[in-house]
Amino acid sequence: MGKIVTVTLNPAIDKTVTLPRLEPGCVNRIHQVRTDPGGKGINVARALHQWGADVTATGFNGGWTGKWLESYLQQEGITHHLVPLPGDTRMNWKLMETETDRVTDINEPGFRVTEKALILLEIQLSEVLEGAKAVVFAGSLPDGVSEDVYQRLIDLAQKKQVPVFVDTEGVPFQKCMEQAPFAVKPNMDEVSKWMGFKIEKEEDIRRAGHCLLDKGVKVAVISMGEQGAWFFMKEQQFRTVPVSIHHAHPVGAGDAMVAGLLYGMSSGWNWKKTARFATAAGTVAASYPGTQFGSLEEVEAVAPQVQLIE
Ligand SMILES: Nc1ncnc2c1ncn2[C@@H]1O[C@H](COP(=O)(O)OP(=O)(O)OP(=O)(O)O)[C@@H](O)[C@H]1O
Ligand SMILES: [Mg+2]
């Protein structure tokens, strides 16, 4: 199957807190709390590892929160090379209100990356990318790096002929697109931002898909949550419709989908099989609270139920 490399410049620790109703300005008592490692690339690595793929997680890490993240990866047996920084890996709080179903996010800014640390990452990444089947750059950028940092790192991978997957948004996504990565997976908001208008109708989605391909991307996946996803390749395009689930916790569904795309591609599957698997991976992740990805068997059981519309 070959090694898959994930790059997470801004990892996190996700704290999911459940309480009846958030009362601003008051003391709020939490009912439940769960702690998960986070950052999109870390999530992709967790999902792939759970499915038995050979994955190496790279990126930055720091402080006591970073120690927690490192010990998690160690315990799970996920190969990782994270460049240490003096600041703390950020903690992201997700406050879920059971009475209103409202979700409030409170995200820390996290550490600041130095140029020296970035050079160290480039050195590590170049070693890790040797013989890799694919690499994914996922998530937001930390403080201290310029918005074209992904371009610099993508260039490194492309020089080694490693196919590049991208899952980020805003200006970093725009910059990544200039490098014509192999595959991208924006959701509707992210692709709307890139296109410069709100994408809703099918014809707009098709237009966006073709714009992504015109920029040199080989596989453009536009995900739409419970509505599934559109897959655009030069020679074919289709839509997947996922099975429906009762109570969705969509955090991490996109990361599971990216992991599914990487899993299918590095297994040498065709795009239809890969699309079904990736769509199912998103659904399985959405069926669990926090960021949990389910087993390979669970995803494989759901994949044949995914509808494919051409
Ligand atoms: N409620 C749901 N029911 C069934 N499947 C879902 C649901 N939510 C997500 N999925 C599956 O997961 C895929 C990716 O979800 P989504 O479009 O929400 O990603 P995203 O917005 O990138 O999420 P993330 O917050 O992880 O970045 C969908 O295409 C679908 O296959
Ligand atoms: Mg996403």
pLDDT digits (tens, 9 = 90+) for 157-205: 999 999 999 999 999 999 999 999 999 999 999 999 999 999 999 999 9
pLDDT of amino acid 289 = 81
pLDDT of amino acid 40 = 96
Atom 31 (ligand 1): residue with closest C-alpha?
A: 279
Is a pLDDT exceeding 90 seen at residue 290?
no
Q: How confident is the model at residue 247 (pLDDT cuts 50, 70, 90)?
A: confident
Q: Does 155 participate in catalysis according to the annotation?
A: no
> Any idea which ligand is nearest the CA of 253?
1
Which domains are delineated in the chain?
A: 3-11+38-84+110-309 (3.40.1190.20)
Q: How confident is the model at residue 251 (pLDDT cuts 50, 70, 90)?
A: confident
pLDDT of amino acid 173 = 98
| CA 255 to ligand 2 center in whole angstroms | 6
Atom 13 (ligand 1): residue with closest C-alpha?
A: 282
Q: Are 231 and 310 in contact (CB under 8 A)?
A: no
Atom 14 (ligand 1): residue with closest C-alpha?
A: 254
Is a pLDDT exceeding 90 seen at residue 17?
yes
Average pLDDT estimate for 95-102: 92
Q: Are 280 and 306 in contact (CB under 8 A)?
A: yes
What are the pLDDT digits (tens) for 294-303?
999 999 999 9
In ligand 1, the atom with minimum distance to the C-alpha of 248 is: 1
What are the pLDDT digits (tens) for 111-140?
999 999 999 999 999 999 999 999 999 999
In ligand 1, the atom with minimum distance to the C-alpha of 250 is: 8
In terms of Cα–Cα distance, which of 13, 26, 33, 12 is closest to 95?
A: 33
The size of the chain, in residues, is 310
Ligand 1 site residues (CB inside 6 A) read 187, 223-226, 228-229, 242, 245, 248, 250-255, 257, 279, 282-283, 286
pLDDT of amino acid 141 = 95
In ligand 1, the atom with minimum distance to the C-alpha of 223 is: 17
| CA 122 to ligand 1 center in whole angstroms | 31
Full-model pTM: 0.95
Is a pLDDT exceeding 90 seen at residue 13?
yes
What are the pLDDT digits (tens) for 53-78?
999 999 999 999 999 999 999 999 99
Average pLDDT estimate for 253-276: 97
